């Protein structure tokens, strides 16, 4: 590793130094990011306890879970890293919390026509909900993760910003984290580029230095969402129905709304395309489509809104309502119990159930869950 990379590691260690001796739970997923996070905390002199969250019983599946997030293999890798750097390590059984707060809503959303975001719910209810409760029992002041999000504390309190590596920024998935939760979370690798994280893993000779990243949803390691939903009993999502255009004309038939997400344009098999899915009705089992120019949206309604920092009067705010979307200029206005997000320019469609994240520049202000699109 170059002298520059050593300096990067030392800079992070120096920034963490004021917390020397403070107890922190390192949420270790078995991946390279959380492994580097844990070793940086240890090098800075914090009292680190490594914790792996067991959220899913892979013995239920026909696959081992290898290559997915939070699998049995990942638990083994996390323990190897903890042993290597010399910190205590525990596996916490979070399967009940995960099924109640992630799996059950995931299935219900696909039956009703919503498009869920399971990673967001896992962060909000399990990683930063149940895990912080466990931190209290262990008398830990903080929970630390390997998310690519930056935290900065100043005289006004703490602030969260996008990760320094734009390709890996994960602030979107923390937009619904409450202020009380976020105040107790540390993100030691948030200022790193992903390549630097991996080089630091080699520098510290971590067992996960060359480990590939997981891409699948942790509880669907084979990537077959439809098979999972059927196995979980999501019958309402597999009722046959009509595919209609904006004027209600029937263009085709389908085998269940669970096969679709709002904004989808591939695999529709309709004439006179291209088409985008613009509405899913869990009551009538109808799928509505529109041509791209008619599928653009002017805004969304957002519920379950939380603020890490509320925007100042007149402050320029942007929002993203899909993970791959670039934040777009918008106006926020409360209407009844929902927050109306009106974009200055039409955007590609989002879907009810997705996260709406609000920003002021690179600062994450907060977010909520999209309840209505259009």
**Angle at the Cα of 161 from the Cα atoms of 159 and 167, rounded to 5 degrees:** 165
Residues classed as catalytic: 122, 218
Q: Which two tokens stand for residue 359?
A: 């920003």
- Joined tokens for residue 188: 């030691």
Q: Which residues contact 31 (CB under 8 A, 6 or more apart)?
A: 69, 74, 77, 146, 208, 211, 213, 214
CA 95/CA 163 separation, integer angstroms:
29
């Amino acid at each position: 590793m170059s002298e520059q990379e050593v300096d990067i590691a030392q800079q992070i260690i120096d920034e963490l130094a004021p917390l020397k001796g403070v107890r922190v739970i390192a949420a270790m997923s078995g991946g390279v990011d959380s492994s580097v996070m844990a070793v940086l905390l240890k090098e800075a002199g914090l009292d680190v306890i490594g914790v792996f969250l067991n959220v899913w019983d892979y013995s239920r599946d026909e696959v081992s879970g290898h290559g997915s997030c939070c699998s049995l293999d990942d638990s083994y890798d996390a323990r190897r890293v903890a042993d290597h750097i010399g910190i205590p390590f525990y596996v916490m059984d979070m399967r009940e919390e995960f099924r109640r707060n992630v799996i059950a809503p995931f299935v219900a959303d696909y039956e009703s026509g919503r498009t869920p975001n399971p990673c967001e719910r896992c962060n909000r209810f399990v990683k930063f909900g149940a895990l912080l409760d466990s931190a209290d029992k262990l008398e830990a002041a903080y929970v630390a993760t390997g998310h690519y999000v930056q935290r900065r504390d100043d005289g006004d309190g703490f602030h969260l910003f996008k990760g320094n590596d734009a390709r890996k920024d994960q602030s979107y998935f923390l937009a619904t984290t409450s202020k009380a939760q976020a105040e107790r979370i540390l993100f030691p690798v948030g200022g790193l580029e992903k390549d630097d994280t991996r080089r630091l893993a080699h520098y510290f000779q971590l067992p996960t230095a060359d480990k590939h990243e997981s891409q699948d949803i942790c509880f669907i390691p084979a990537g077959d969402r439809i098979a999972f939903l059927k196995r979980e009993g999501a019958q309402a999502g597999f009722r046959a129905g009509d595919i209609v255009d904006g004027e209600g004309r029937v263009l085709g038939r389908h085998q269940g709304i669970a096969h679709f997400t709002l904004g989808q344009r591939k695999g529709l098999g309709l004439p006179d395309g291209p088409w985008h899915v613009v509405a899913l009705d869990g009551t009538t089992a109808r799928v509505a489509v529109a041509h791209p120019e008619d599928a653009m949206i002017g805004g969304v309604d957002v519920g379950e809104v939380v603020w890490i920092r509320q925007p100042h009067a007149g402050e320029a705010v942007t929002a993203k309502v899909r993970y791959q979307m670039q934040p777009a200029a918008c106006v926020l206005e409360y209407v009844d119990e929902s927050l109306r997000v009106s974009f200055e320019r039409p955007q590609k469609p989002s879907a009810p159930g997705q996260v709406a994240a609000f920003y002021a520049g690179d600062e994450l202000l907060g977010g909520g869950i999209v309840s209505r699109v259009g």
